[in-house]
């Protein structure tokens, strides 16, 4: 039996993350990205079970798009483009999605 993230929970998590990002976009960029990284690590730890790699990968992708959107809205001077965003993520990397629990381990 495959264990994957339920659609409703996935969408609810994205909505909660969006609201959090909306409220905290005023934080300094290093602090904001550190908190986003911690939230992603927690999500991967909870939902990172066997057969759910696609789900946590999609969540990471959606979070990056939301992060770009809200960082781009921070000011009018030199709006953020994808190239600048990639450089920013290179300097403050976000964790990569990974499976943390193998449910099919035989011992």
pLDDT tens, 31-69?
999 999 999 999 999 998 888 899 999 999 999 999 999
Domain count within the chain: 1
In this predicted structure, the answer to whether residue 104 has a pLDDT above a threshold of 80 is: no
What are the backbone angles phi and psi of residue 36, rounded to the nearest 5°? -60, -45
pLDDT at 103: 75
- Judge whether 47 lies within some domain: yes
Q: What is the mean pLDDT of residues 20-35?
A: 95
Full DSSP string of 64-99: HHHHHHHHHTT-STT---HHHHHHHHHHSPPPPP--
- Judge whether 98 lies within some domain: no
Please tell me the distance from the alpha carbon of residue 38 to that of residue 25, in angstroms, as a whole number: 16
Q: What residues make up the domain containing 69?
A: 7-91
- Judge whether 2 lies within some domain: no
Confidence of residue 3 (pLDDT cuts 50, 70, 90): confident
- CA angle 85–32–30, rounded 5-degree value: 70
């Amino acid at each position: 039996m495959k264990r994957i993230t339920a659609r409703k929970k996935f969408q609810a998590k994205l909505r909660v993350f969006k609201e959090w990002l909306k409220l905290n976009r005023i934080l300094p960029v290093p602090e904001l990205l550190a908190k986003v990284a911690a939230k992603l690590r927690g999500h991967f730890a909870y939902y990172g079970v066997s057969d759910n790699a696609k789900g946590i990968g999609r969540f990471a992708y959606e979070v990056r798009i939301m992060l770009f959107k809200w960082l781009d809205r921070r000011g009018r001077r030199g709006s953020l483009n994808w190239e600048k965003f990639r450089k920013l993520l290179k300097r403050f990397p976000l964790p990569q999605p990974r499976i943390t629990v193998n449910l099919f381990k035989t011992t």
